Amino acid sequence: MTQASGWWRVVVVAGIASGGMLAAAEPAPPHPMVLRAAHLIDVEAGRVVTPGEVLIEGERITAAGASVPRPAGAELVELGDTTLLPGLIDAHVHLFLHPGAEDLQTVQESVPQRTLLALLAARDDVMAGFTAERDMGTEGAGSADSAVRNAIDAGQFPGPRLRVSGNAIDILGGHEDAIAFNPAQHVFSNATYANSADELVAAIRGQHKEGSDFVKIYQTGPDTMVRGVLHAPPQYTPAQLRAAIDEAARLGTTVSVHATAEPGAGYAAEAGVASIEHAIQLSDETMRLMRQRRIYAVPTLTWYEYFSTHSPSAAENKAAAEIFDYKVKEFRRQVAAGVPMAVGSDVGPFAHGTQAREFELMVQYGMRPAAVLQADLLNGAKLLGWDGQIGQLKPGFYADVIAVAGNPLDDMSALGRVSFVMKGGAIVKRSPAAR
């Protein structure tokens, strides 16, 4: 069996196992293909084109609009009353996590087991229309995400295009250290220790050697609400973060940080990170720096909503709901201030393939639908380092295309109804109704 034929056998089985739509065993054809649907979204313009057509040759788009040329031998794929748009981007995922006790799964499940589950998670995400993602830390599985990325890139398993960080980086006793376990058991941290600028540089070099695409750093510690205000201790100084950013730049990449509150978020913006993940509390000065330097906030609203009702106890639900309410208020403030946004859900602790909820929440709490799509597809492409390659239906871009029932500019829940997925010119999923 060839490598390619093995991959498509996996896709067919995955489609059957996941229920609903069947993943078609259709590699990128040697002939041109035209996708035709009732509508198409021009993301950059924020408008709907009617009807919608996309011409694909090999793995790239060669034309898109209300009508496209029909080269000799072109195959027509009729997608009916659907809307075409670029494959979605999730800028904050955890392929190596699944619903359940997060800390326990990282201790009880072996890295090989977690890697197999990560491949299933990647399948579920691409079937849901997410054709590009950033894996924001393997939570103790080291560089196993590099293996998942490479297997997907080689066509051995279905999944999104991936940017991976390996383990996140943390201080001793920090955000992801095993602080809730019996010290005598010497339970490992879910992150890589670095307690100084020199140790940050050494950790970044080690992860780069093992295949990381970017750097993820925990910049703030545990979140607590004190008299209605969020507090989270900073973990690195601006100088330490600058050392990390300089080393990442030497290697041709960037640094993104988990930062939920001030002053840690401000330190990160001052140092010049690429994105601030979660970004619950941002000062006026931090928001100014983010606008000036195009530092993206990645809100991960879905994670906070989920744990406001799915925490282990009623008391924890109440505490999480308080943080979520605070986050929503602060998110509205950030939108009004013009903070650059990208879209990331923090999926993993909740089920993979369900993260389109993030789009709905961003609209519900203050963003225009067109602005949310632009944050996801234009800003997301830049943040992942694929600007000009993904995120738009334009000539020269990868043929990463999805079709959804409905119009997301009218109803963002349409992004949870994906009936067709193409990645790089290969059909990964399509409804039996598609011809």
Considering only the C-alpha atoms of the chain, give the largest distance between any 2 of them, rounded to a whole number of Å: 71
Q: Which pLDDT does position 211 carry in this prediction?
A: 97
The tens-digit pLDDT sequence of the chain (435 residues) is 333 333 333 343 344 334 344 443 356 778 999 999 999 999 999 999 999 999 999 999 999 999 999 999 999 999 999 999 999 999 999 999 999 878 888 889 999 999 999 999 999 999 999 999 999 999 999 999 999 999 999 999 999 999 999 999 999 988 888 778 878 888 787 889 999 999 999 999 999 999 999 999 999 999 999 999 999 999 999 999 999 999 999 999 999 999 999 999 999 999 999 999 999 999 999 999 999 999 999 999 999 999 999 998 999 999 999 999 999 999 999 999 999 999 999 999 999 999 999 999 999 999 999 999 999 999 999 999 999 999 999 999 999 999 999 999 999 999 999 999 999 999 999 977 555
CATH 3.20.20.140 in the chain: give the residue spans. 90-383
At 140-182, the pLDDT tens digits run 999 999 999 999 999 999 999 999 999 999 999 888 887 788 7
Q: What is the pTM of this model?
A: 0.93
User: Bridge-partner residues for 286, per DSSP?
Assistant: none
Give CA–CA dist 12/22, Å, rounded: 7
CATH 2.30.40.10 residue ranges in the chain?
A: 3-87+391-430
Q: What is the pLDDT of residues 391-426, one digit of tens each?
A: 999 999 999 999 999 999 999 999 999 999 999 999
Residue found under tokens 């993904």: 390
d(CA 394, CA 216): 31
Could you give the CA distance from residue 387 to residue 126 in angstroms, rounded to a whole number? 20
Closest CA to 295 of 329, 341, 258: 341
For residue 27, the model assigns a pLDDT of 67
Q: Which residues contact 243 (CB under 8 A, 6 or more apart)?
A: 197, 198, 200, 201
Cα–Cα distance, 271 to 290 (Å, whole number) = 11
Q: What CA–CA distances, in Å, run from 408 to 67, 179, 194, 233, 372?
A: 21, 43, 43, 39, 10
Distance between CA 346 and CA 160 in Å, rounded? 16
Structure tokens at 33: 């293909």
Q: Is 338 exposed, middle or buried (0-12, 13-18, 19+ CB in 10 A)?
A: exposed
Q: Residues 90-383: name the CATH superfamily.
A: Metal-dependent hydrolases (3.20.20.140)
User: Domain 3-87+391-430, what architecture?
Assistant: Roll (2.30)
User: What Rg, from alpha-carbon coordinates, does the chain have?
Assistant: 21
Q: Locate 19 and state its tokens.
A: 């229920």
